[in-house]
């Protein structure tokens, strides 16, 4: 460890003077690995926000080095900073390359491994994030782009003579566009839908810009969608993986959903477009394929193009299939036709025989490969963990990221038939000081005779002869996997470390258990998946180490919806609830949200369509607000006011309903957060409020409960001292 620290310090000293003058950071305070102290082995929200966040491993062209990034949070500054590191391919000789006041993002090797390109925002006032290039040792930093609206991502052509840059262009009209004399008017003038999306008012959209690159500067920057009002990549998830240069550099394939307004809001039909760089002509490669088409990837020879494709328009959680097209004949083939799981990411093997891929599978996200000719699937790396990156090596190994409920991302190398090898150890020192938490896989019988994979995390130093309070975790999505995820908000290890048994069921409507299991939840929000939650709760309450009277239920997004629904339909199963960004009123949600394909598919359509039996059933039986008359349990509600996906008024409705029914309730609203809680101090505040609420209702002898009781006694005494209005009159 001392040798590593010495190496890091030497690199930091060598780059400090360079970076301070190269990026104009001046006296800006740097964010580095924090000095923290673990007390009695306990994991805390502060320690959670002190862990290094490892990401984006990139194998050098010669296969000898791995570039990666590490970010740290500053609780004091309420921001994070990401720096770049490099190590040998076996994990040795890790060196820090950058030490700057802002984050270096999306690092990529160029110039045969002699240089590194990345996105960086200079600290100068008014600066935008741009494309930068530096030498492989961290020296010679230079900004090479000057796009007016900055750069969000990039992709170099195989010969590196061209580069694609993701930037934004103006969308819509301002009052000043229409009425130049009203220079101080401030309004949004809206004629169609998709005027807001997730956490932004849509006044700009991403476009792909193509530029020539001579190794040091960009020329002839061109918006290849100039004048077209379409997003590419698609918000909010799309990035550089939405583009692929052909190996000969003559064409660029990009992902786009060429729709706007209402048409965009009701459709998931994106396509792959092949753009001829010389002529500017564009061809739709997936015409007639009606769902999402994303993640184009050419093999090295250019003979085949692979991508991910969903079948149905309007179904965003459809099975993601691997498709392959012969680039000469145009013949398309589905590789995963006989493999009943949904794929998340793909990458070609060096010998072009395989496609490596990631996919939820039986409660985890393993690393697989599929034979392009035979469609046979092999597991490369599995176990009680998730994998999260794909960088194939020439010898059949794969550089990847791995995490679990118990550990955050670290860089690993995986190889078929062998145990994955950990290459980075960014967080080992802190994690070794924490009391260990145990994770077990439990199979829970469901009401319809199936077996449900349920993860159970046990507190440190647990004595199974004693009884413990528990927390049922309700997943969002609704069709997001309850795999071995590591979250900086819903951190199950942190929950267990506070003395709770944490129960995480893979209820109906989650990927990883086949298409039927995943699809069942649509049009059945209040049905089988809610029975699955109650089955897990009832099953776990029968365990000798569970306190049956002190179980809480928590969740966000669809998990927040689940909490609201369970609050009116749980029959005293739970002692408290906590919902973040949850849907409370489905009728309001239908008209408040922006991605209409989602509510149309999952709810069945609009509530005013009285002839639509499926939709009418949803609104009559699945909307939590219809069961408020049954609410009888303390509930905490949180939301971000910048959340335009599930508008925070859903939270205020639920809170008001609880208080009008005289149910103990607490609401925490974050004016500067969206669907997630992203800022360091807000994150810690959220965690403190979370555990204060859980302790109040699930730990009768806790300080939180004693403080609550004291407050209630004070309120009661004040009420007794008040003179009734009639008597005073």
Q: Which of 197, 403, 625, 675 is catalytic?
A: 675
Task: Examine the residue annotation and report whether 557 is marked as an active-site residue of this protein.
Answer: yes
pLDDT at 23: 45
Backbone angles phi, psi at 22, to 5 degrees: -75, -35
Judge whether 667 and 652 are in contact, CB under 8 Å.
yes
Q: Which of 643, 683, 695, 702 is catalytic?
A: 643
Task: Examine the residue annotation and report whether 675 is marked as an active-site residue of this protein.
Answer: yes
Among residues 388, 394, 570, the alpha carbon closest in space to that of 472 is found at 570
What mean pLDDT is predicted for residues 628-646? 98
Confidence band for 680, pLDDT divided at 50, 70 and 90: very high
pLDDT at 720: 86
Among residues 58, 138, 140, 135, the alpha carbon closest in space to that of 97 is found at 138
pLDDT tens string 344-370: 999 999 999 999 999 999 999 999 999
pLDDT at 721: 85
Cβ-proximal residues to 530 (8 Å cutoff; 6+ apart), any chain: 562, 565, 566, 569
CB-CB neighbours of 566 under 10 Å: 26
Rg value, the chain, Cα:
27
Q: At what angle do helices 596-603 and 613-621 cross, to 10 degrees?
A: 90
E strand or H helix that includes residue 583: none
- pLDDT of residue 170 exceeding 50, the answer is yes
Distances (CA, A) of 316 to 269, 296, 332: 10, 18, 22
pLDDT tens string 95-142: 999 999 999 999 999 999 999 999 999 999 999 999 999 999 999 999
Chain mean pLDDT for the chain: 95
- pLDDT of residue 723 exceeding 90, the answer is no
Confidence band for 21, pLDDT divided at 50, 70 and 90: very low
- pLDDT of residue 12 exceeding 70, the answer is no
Report the DSSP pairing between strands 104-110 and 129-135. unpaired
What is the full DSSP assignment across 656-687?
HHHHHTT--EEEEEETT--SS--SHHHHHHHH
pLDDT tens string 427-476: 999 999 999 999 999 999 999 999 999 999 999 999 989 999 999 999 99
pLDDT at 308: 98
Give the separation between CA 213 and CA 79, rounded to whole angstroms.
Answer: 33
User: Bigger pLDDT: 652 or 724?
Assistant: 652
DSSP 429: H
Q: At what angle do helices 703-721 and 680-698 cross, to 10 degrees?
A: 80
DSSP 320: -
Give the separation between CA 49 and CA 72, rounded to whole angstroms.
Answer: 8
Give the separation between CA 556 and CA 494, rounded to whole angstroms.
Answer: 17
Q: What are the extents of the domains in the chain?
A: 436-713
Q: Which of 50, 404, 470, 557 is catalytic?
A: 557
Judge whether 574 and 537 are in contact, CB under 8 Å.
yes
Question: Is the pTM for the entire model greater than 0.85?
Answer: yes
Report the DSSP pairing between strands 398-403 and 410-414. antiparallel
pLDDT at 53: 98
Q: Which CATH number fits domain 436-713: 3.40.50.720, 3.40.190.10, 3.40.50.1820, 3.40.50.300?
A: 3.40.50.1820
pLDDT tens string 218-263: 999 999 999 999 999 999 999 999 999 999 999 999 999 999 999 9
Backbone angles phi, psi at 52, to 5 degrees: -75, 135
Confidence band for 29, pLDDT divided at 50, 70 and 90: confident
pLDDT at 493: 98
pLDDT tens string 185-211: 999 999 999 999 999 999 999 999 999
What mean pLDDT is predicted for residues 133-152? 97
**In the chain, % of residues over pLDDT 70:** 95
């Amino acid at each position: 460890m001392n040798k590593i620290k010495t190496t890091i310090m030497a690199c930091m000293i060598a780059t400090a003077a360079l970076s301070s003058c190269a990026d104009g950071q001046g006296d800006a305070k740097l964010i580095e690995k924090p000095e923290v102290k673990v007390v009695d082995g306990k994991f805390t929200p502060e320690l959670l926000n002190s862990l290094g966040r490892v990401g984006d491993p990139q194998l050098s062209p010669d296969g000898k080095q791995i570039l990666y990034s590490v970010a740290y949070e500053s609780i004091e500054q309420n921001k994070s900073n990401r720096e770049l590191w490099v190590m040998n391919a076996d994990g040795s000789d890790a060196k820090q390359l950058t030490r700057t006041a802002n984050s270096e993002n999306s690092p990529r090797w160029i110039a045969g491994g002699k240089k590194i390109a990345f996105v960086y925002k200079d600290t100068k006032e008014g600066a935008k994030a741009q494309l930068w290039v530096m030498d492989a040792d961290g020296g010679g930093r230079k900004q090479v782009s000057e796009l007016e609206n900055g750069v969000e991502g990039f992709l170099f052509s195989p010969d590196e003579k061209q580069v694609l840059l993701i930037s934004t262009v103006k969308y819509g009209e301002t009052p000043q566009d229409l009425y130049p004399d009203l220079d101080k008017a401030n309004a949004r003038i809206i004629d169609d839908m998709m005027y807001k999306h997730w956490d932004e008012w849509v006044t700009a959209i991403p476009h792909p810009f193509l530029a020539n690159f001579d190794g040091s500067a960009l020329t002839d920057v061109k918006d290849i969608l100039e004048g077209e009002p379409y997003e590419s990549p698609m918000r909010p998830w799309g990035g550089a993986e939405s583009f692929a240069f052909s190996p000969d550099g003559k064409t660029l394939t990009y992902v786009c959903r060429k729709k706007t307004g209402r048409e965009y809001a009701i459709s998931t039909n994106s396509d792959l477009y092949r753009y001829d760089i010389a002529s500017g002509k564009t061809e739709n490669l997936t015409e007639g394929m009606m769902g999402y088409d994303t993640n184009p990837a050419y093999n090295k020879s250019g003979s085949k193009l692979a991508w991910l494709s969903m079948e149905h328009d309007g179904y965003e959680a459809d099975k993601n299939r691997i498709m392959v097209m012969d680039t000469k004949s145009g013949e398309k083939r589905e590789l995963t036709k006989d493999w009943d799981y949904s794929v998340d990411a793909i990458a070609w093997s060096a010998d072009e025989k395989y496609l490596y891929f990631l996919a939820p599978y039986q409660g985890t996200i393993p690393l697989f490969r599929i034979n392009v000719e035979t469609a046979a699937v092999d597991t490369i790396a599995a176990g009680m963990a998730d994998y999260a990156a794909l960088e194939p090596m020439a010898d059949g190994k794969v550089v990847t990221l791995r995490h679990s409920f118990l550990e955050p991302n670290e860089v690993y190398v995986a190889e078929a038939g062998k145990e994955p090898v950990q290459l980075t150890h960014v967080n080992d020192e802190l994690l070794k000081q924490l009391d260990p938490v145990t994770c077990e896989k439990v199979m829970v019988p469901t009401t319809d005779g199936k077996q449900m994979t349920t993860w159970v995390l046990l507190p440190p130093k647990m004595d199974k002869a004693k009884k413990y309070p528990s927390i049922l975790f309700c997943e969002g999505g609704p069709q997001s996997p309850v795999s071995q995820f590591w979250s900086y908000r819903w951190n199950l290890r942190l929950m267990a470390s506070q003395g709770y048994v944490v129960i995480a069921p893979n209820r109906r409507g989650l990927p990883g258990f086949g298409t039927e299991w995943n699809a069942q939840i649509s049009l059945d929000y209040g049905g089988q998946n809610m029975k699955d939650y109650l089955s897990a709760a009832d099953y776990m309450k029968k365990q000798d180490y569970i306190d049956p009277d002190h179980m809480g239920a928590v969740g966000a997004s669809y998990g927040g919806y689940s909490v609201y629904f369970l609050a009116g339909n749980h029959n005293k199963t739970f002692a408290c609830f906590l919902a973040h960004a949850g849907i409370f009123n489905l009728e309001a949600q239908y008209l408040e949200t922006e991605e209409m394909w989602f509510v149309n598919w999952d709810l069945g359509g609009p509530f005013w369509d009285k002839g639509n039996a499926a939709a009418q059933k949803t609104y009559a039986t699945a909307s939590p607000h219809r069961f408020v008359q049954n609410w009888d349990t303390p509930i905490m509600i949180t939301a971000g006011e910048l959340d335009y996906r599930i508008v925070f008024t859903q939270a205020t409705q639920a809170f008001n309903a609880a208080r009008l029914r005289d149910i103990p309730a607490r609401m925490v609203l974050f004016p500067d957060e969206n669907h997630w809680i992203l800022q360091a101090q807000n994150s810690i505040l959220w965690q403190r409020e979370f555990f204060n609420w859980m302790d109040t209702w699930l730990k009768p002898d806790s300080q939180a409960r004693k403080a609550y009781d004291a407050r209630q006694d004070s309120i009661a005494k004040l009420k007794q001292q008040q003179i009734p209005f009639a008597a005073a009159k």
